[in-house]
Amino acid sequence: MDQQQLLQHIIFSPQTLLTLLLCFLSFLLLRYYHKQPDQGRRRLPPSPPGRFPIIGHLHLVSPESPHVSLAELSKKHAGPDGLLLLDLGQARTLVVSSPRGAEAVLRAHDHAFASRPPSAVADVLFSGASDVAFAPYGERWRQARRLVTTHLLSAGKVRALAGARGEEVALVLAKVRAAAGSGQAVDLSELLGAYANDAVCRAVSGKSFREERRNELFWELIAGNAAVLAGFGMQDFFPGLARVRLLRRLLLARTIGLKKRWHELLDKIIDDHAAKLSSSSSRKQHERHDEEQEDQERDFVDVLLSLQHEYNLTRDNIKGILIDMFAAGTDTSYIVMEFVMAELMRKPHAMAKLQAEVRGQTPKDQHTVKEEDLSGMAYLKAVVKETLRLHPPVPLLLPRVAISSCDDVNGYAVPAGTHVVVNTWVLGRDAQSWGENAEEFKPERFMLDGGSEVDYKGRDFQFLPFGAGRRICPGLGFGMASVETMLANLVYCFNWELPRGIREEDIDMADVFGLTMRRKEKLLLVPTIPPDLEHDACGRSA
């Protein structure tokens, strides 16, 4: 064994790593006893008993279902405002579990809590948090956010993409129609996931990647994002570990590999678009164009490249924004659609009511539901809202961090540097807001007195599936257009049955926690064509 091999063996040996870890934990223990918060001078939010040295309250939080365990802790130990202070390793964390607490953090003190806590995973995956979702608050983030909301996800841009969404819907309908009548179940989870992915690919790059089979790679990478960004890894609770080179390589190995695969894929897409833009620029340099109209006609990559100099975008900035678009646009839409169909199968009367509305509101001379038909479908919108209430795609909103100390968050002091986690899953099940039957799927709760005013746009703090304030999800309009169009067509063109031997109460609604929360089991359903649509072209246009 030569000197270099011997050195590598010593450095990476289990004994060396264990020694380093023990030294680091000893350092944390000393800090714990010498830097305890001064409880006497400021009134901090309540904390549960049983805090251990070094790990704090970590042992009280389930990594498999943290949204549930945090809800239980808040119910037992939080004050009337639903504010609970936990020490999760090195991360002092304020857990918000009530609408009043959420309003204090996301409206009254939104500026103080508008940033993101440092994240070793985000730093690696987004090359220093160069995206929009995980970037710290500041001028760089404001510029990126303005670019996304003005040029990529504006209402005009969402409308301009309706044709592409319609084509992707037609492809799904054709696949379902081919299986209808055979009595065989279709994997609706797979179909909806592919649709969400393809719709985003069309918006981002102008085409889907079905023929190249790169759509499967996108789906795999998006699932990887949800796993590493869930916020419950050792590097999140003990960020100092990620600063130790040897431990960083161990803790972030999966993220480093994930970043490499994302960049290989996105570099190819960006290079292809750059080459096309270069060849077409000479033809347009003497022509005058409406810039807003051009933005609406071009895909996201073209728009970002055309604005690269105006917004001082690096290639890492572009790739970070594109990763946000792919991950957020695909995963959340797919999750909502799958949960909607699962809930409708558990409640046949809700399915019948929705089908009656959609079939009654769609013009008789149309073979499919168009996006302009959706505005009058109040029950469809109520079904989607009720699903978002019970099954928010992101059960714990992305963490925020206190930029400065806040001494009056509903009477409590929140020190600078405190992480803030809003449990939107428990907000949607709050009995004071939603009544004693808060756990029941009941779309009619959004249609009381001609239509409830409660909406998901960040103004109603008992219902925050997309967040609120400065950090509200900018893709809300794009996502809802994709979801409502697909669902309306599925219930318009087909009747749906459960596979033989399966009852409504047998449908497993268990979920798997990550950055997003999806159903654990696949949704297999049997489609049939309604008698009055037997000779219709529904689903054949693809």
Segments in 238-347 forming alpha helices (H): 245-251, 253-284, 291-297, 300-306, 315-346
Least confident of 211-225, 309-323, 492-506: 211-225
Q: What is the pLDDT averaged over residues 495-504?
A: 94
Token pair, residue 505, equals: 């109460």
Task: Please report the pLDDT score of residue 537 as a whole number.
Answer: 53
Q: What is the pLDDT averaged over residues 233-252?
A: 81
Q: What is the pLDDT averaged over residues 221-225?
A: 91
Is the model more confident about 282 or about 400?
400
Confidence of residue 182 (pLDDT cuts 50, 70, 90): confident
In whole angstroms, what separates CA 214 from the centre of its chain?
A: 21
High-pLDDT (> 70) share of the chain, %: 86
Task: Please report the pLDDT score of residue 33 as a whole number.
Answer: 43
Confidence of residue 37 (pLDDT cuts 50, 70, 90): very low
| Cα 374 to Cα 162: distance, rounded to the nearest angstrom | 12
Confidence of residue 203 (pLDDT cuts 50, 70, 90): very high
Confidence of residue 21 (pLDDT cuts 50, 70, 90): low
Nearest to 61 by CA among 225, 233, 238, 228: 233
Is the model more confident about 36 or about 278?
278
| Cα 279 to Cα 236: distance, rounded to the nearest angstrom | 46
Q: How far is CA 278 from CA 74, 219, 306, 455, 462, in A?
A: 56, 30, 10, 44, 49
Q: Which residue has 């023990």 as its token pair?
A: 22
In whole angstroms, what separates CA 244 from the centre of its chain?
A: 30
| Cα 422 to Cα 97: distance, rounded to the nearest angstrom | 6
Is the model more confident about 10 or about 514?
514
pLDDT digits (tens, 9 = 90+) for 304-358: 999 999 999 999 999 999 999 998 889 899 999 999 999 999 999 999 999 999 9
**Are residues 441 and 353 in contact, defined by beta-carbon separation less than 8 angstroms?**
no
> Is 60 exceeded by the pLDDT of residue 382?
yes
Mean confidence (pLDDT) of the chain: 87
Query: Is 473 flagged in the annotation as binding?
Result: yes
Nearest to 230 by CA among 457, 23, 398: 398
Q: What is the pLDDT averaged over residues 413-441?
A: 95
Number of helices and strands (H, E) in the chain?
21, 11
Q: How far is CA 328 from CA 1, 25, 193, 302, 438, in A?
A: 49, 36, 13, 20, 27
Burial 200-214 (b: 16+ CB within 10 A, else e): bbbbbbbebbeeeeb
| Cα 269 to Cα 246: distance, rounded to the nearest angstrom | 34
pLDDT digits (tens, 9 = 90+) for 97-111: 999 999 999 999 999
Nearest to 398 by CA among 119, 197, 168: 119
> Is 90 exceeded by the pLDDT of residue 19?
no
Nearest to 73 by CA among 34, 45, 33: 45
> Is 90 exceeded by the pLDDT of residue 207?
no
Task: Please report the pLDDT score of residue 288 as a whole number.
Answer: 46
| Cα 329 to Cα 193: distance, rounded to the nearest angstrom | 11
> Is 80 exceeded by the pLDDT of residue 521?
yes
Q: How far is CA 488 from CA 252, 285, 379, in A?
A: 42, 43, 11
> Is 90 exceeded by the pLDDT of residue 406?
yes
Least confident of 219-228, 271-280, 399-408, 505-514: 271-280
| Cα 507 to Cα 491: distance, rounded to the nearest angstrom | 19
| Cα 463 to Cα 476: distance, rounded to the nearest angstrom | 14
| Cα 258 to Cα 326: distance, rounded to the nearest angstrom | 14
**Are residues 520 and 512 in contact, defined by beta-carbon separation less than 8 angstroms?**
yes
Q: What is the pLDDT averaged over residues 142-150?
A: 95
